[in-house]
C-alpha cells in the first residue's frame, strides 16, 4: 500500500538536513501526501508505531552524538518495529552509519548491536571521493560531489551525481538491493541501497540525495569566505541537477512511495 504520510525528524541537530527535505518533499504534498515534522520524542515514545503506513525520514547531520543521545537505542528499536509492521524509512549520512551493527568514523568505532537494522560494519568518510583540486575544498573540507552509477528500476544503468559529506562506506549485505554505486570509490561501494525489514523496507544513503544545488546557489547570500566557497560548491552541484533529480525520484517513486516497491540487485 502506498504510504500517505512522510514523517521528517526535525530535532535541532538535523536542522539543516530538515530544511533541504522541506524543499525536496514539497511536490509530494501537492499529491495529497501529508508531510509532517516530528521530534525524536515521537519515535522514542512509540507514537511512530501508530503510523505504519508512513515513510520515516532521518536526515543527515554533522552531529552524530545528536542521534546517539536523542534516539538512545529506544528510538532505533522502535524504527525497526515500525518497519517490521510495514513502514518505510530513509536514512541519510549520519543516520546511514547507525543502520549497521557497528560503525566507525575516522578512528572511532561504535558498537550498535542493540539497535541496528542490518548486520555489517559501516565506516567513513570515503577518502578517495574527495578531490582537493576543486576550488571550494580549502574551506569546505567535508563537502564534495560524488559521481554514481544509478541502477534504475527499469534495469538500465545511468550516470548520477549527488552531494557527498562524509557518508559511510556501506557494507553490501546479502539482501541489499543496490540503487547506486560510487564510481570513484576503490571498491565501487554502494552509495544508496534498499533492504527489506519485515513487511517494510529501509533505504540507506551515504549521499545527501535531497540537496538541490540550484536552490542552494540561488538562496545563498555570500558574505564570508565560507559562504563564497559554498556558493561555488552549490553552483557546481547544480550542473548535475538532472542526474541528481533522476536518482531522487527513483528512490521515492519506486521504493519509498510505491504501492509495490521495486527491490533489485545490481550485478
pLDDT tens across 171-190, in order? 988 789 999 999 999 888 99
Cell of 154: 527499469
* Strands, sheet with 100-105, edge to edge from the N-terminal-most edge strand: 108-111, 100-105, 118-124
User: Mean of the pLDDT values across residues 132-152?
Assistant: 87
Instruction: State residue 177's pLDDT score.
Output: 93
Could you give the domains of the chain? Answer: 5-256 (3.40.50.880)
User: Mean of the pLDDT values across residues 63-92?
Assistant: 93
Per-residue pLDDT at 267 exceeds 70: no
> In the beta sheet, which residues pair with residue 178?
193
Cα separation, 124 vs 206, in Å, equals: 9
Instruction: State residue 222's pLDDT score.
Output: 66
Per-residue pLDDT at 9 exceeds 60: yes
Pairing of strands 108-111, 88-92: unpaired
Per-residue pLDDT at 266 exceeds 50: no
Per-residue pLDDT at 1 exceeds 90: no
**Whether 251 contacts 203, CB under 8 Å:** yes
Per-residue pLDDT at 263 exceeds 80: no
Q: Residue 87 — pLDDT band, cuts 50, 70, 90?
A: very high
Cα separation, 237 vs 231, in Å, equals: 10
Per-residue pLDDT at 51 exceeds 90: yes
Per-residue pLDDT at 44 exceeds 60: yes
Instruction: State residue 133's pLDDT score.
Output: 85
Residue whose entry in the numeric block shows the C-alpha cell 535541532: 12
Cell of 236: 557546481
Range with the poorest average pLDDT among 7-11, 90-94, 222-226, 243-247: 222-226
Range with the poorest average pLDDT among 16-30, 123-137, 214-228: 214-228
- Which residues have C-beta within 8 Å of that of residue 189, sequence separation ≥ 6? 126, 169, 170, 172, 181, 182, 206
Cα separation, 72 vs 70, in Å, equals: 5
User: Mean of the pLDDT values across residues 66-84?
Assistant: 93
- 241 versus 216: the higher-pLDDT residue is 241
**Whether 144 contacts 125, CB under 8 Å:** no
Q: Residue 227 — pLDDT band, cuts 50, 70, 90?
A: confident
Pairing of strands 108-111, 34-38: unpaired
Cell of 227: 559562504
User: Mean of the pLDDT values across residues 70-83?
Assistant: 94
- Backbone region of residue 110 per phi and psi (left: phi > 0; alpha: psi in -120 to 50; beta: other values): beta
Query: Helix-strand-coil percent breakdown of the chain, rounded to 5?
Result: 35, 30, 35
Per-residue pLDDT at 26 exceeds 50: yes
Average pLDDT, the chain: 92
Instruction: State residue 210's pLDDT score.
Output: 95
User: Mean of the pLDDT values across residues 150-164?
Assistant: 94
The reply to whether omega before 125 is within 30° of 0 (cis) is yes
Q: What percent of the chain has pLDDT over 90?
A: 73
Angle between helix 64-71 and 74-84 (nearest 10): 80
Amino acid at each position: 500500500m502506498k504510504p500517505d504520510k512522510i514523517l521528517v525528524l526535525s530535532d535541532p541537530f538535523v536542522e539543516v538536513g530538515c530544511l533541504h527535505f522541506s524543499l525536496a518533499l514539497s511536490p509530494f504534498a501537492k499529491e495529497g501526501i501529508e508531510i509532517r515534522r516530528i521530534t525524536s520524542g515521537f519515535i522514542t515514545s512509540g507514537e511512530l508505531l501508530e503510523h505504519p503506513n508512513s515513510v520515516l525520514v532521518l536526515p543527515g547531520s554533522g552531529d552524530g552524538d545528536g542521534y546517539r543521545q536523542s534516539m538512545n537505542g529506544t528510538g532505533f528499536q522502535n524504527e525497526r518495529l515500525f518497519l517490521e509492521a510495514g513502514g518505510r524509512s530513509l536514512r541519510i549520512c549520519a543516520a546511514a552509519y547507525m543502520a549497521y551493527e557497528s560503525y566507525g568514523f575516522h578512528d572511532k568505532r561504535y558498537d550498535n548491536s542493540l539497535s541496528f537494522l542490518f548486520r555489517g560494519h559501516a565506516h567513513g568518510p570515503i577518502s578517495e571521493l574527495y578531490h582537493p583540486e576543486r576550488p571550494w575544498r580549502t574551506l569546505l573540507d567535508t563537502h564534495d560531489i560524488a559521481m554514481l552509477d544509478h541502477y534504475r528500476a527499469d534495469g538500465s544503468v545511468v550516470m548520477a551525481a549527488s552531494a557527498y559529506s562524509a557518508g559511510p562506506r556501506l557494507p553490501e549485505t546479502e539482501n541489499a538491493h543496490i540503487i547506486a554505486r560510487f564510481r570513484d570509490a576503490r571498491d565501487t561501494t554502494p552509495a544508496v541501497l534498499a533492504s527489506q525489514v519485515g513487511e517494510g523496507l529501509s533505504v540507506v544513503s551515504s549521499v545527501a540525495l535531497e540537496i538541490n544545488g540550484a536552490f542552494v546557489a540561488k538562496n545563498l547570500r555570500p558574505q564570508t569566505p565560507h559562504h563564497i566557497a559554498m556558493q561555488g560548491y552549490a553552483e557546481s552541484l547544480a550542473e548535475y541537477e538532472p542526474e541528481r533529480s533522476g536518482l531522487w525520484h527513483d528512490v521515492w517513486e519506486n521504493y519509498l512511495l510505491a504501492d509495490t516497491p521495486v527491490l533489485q540487485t545490481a550485478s
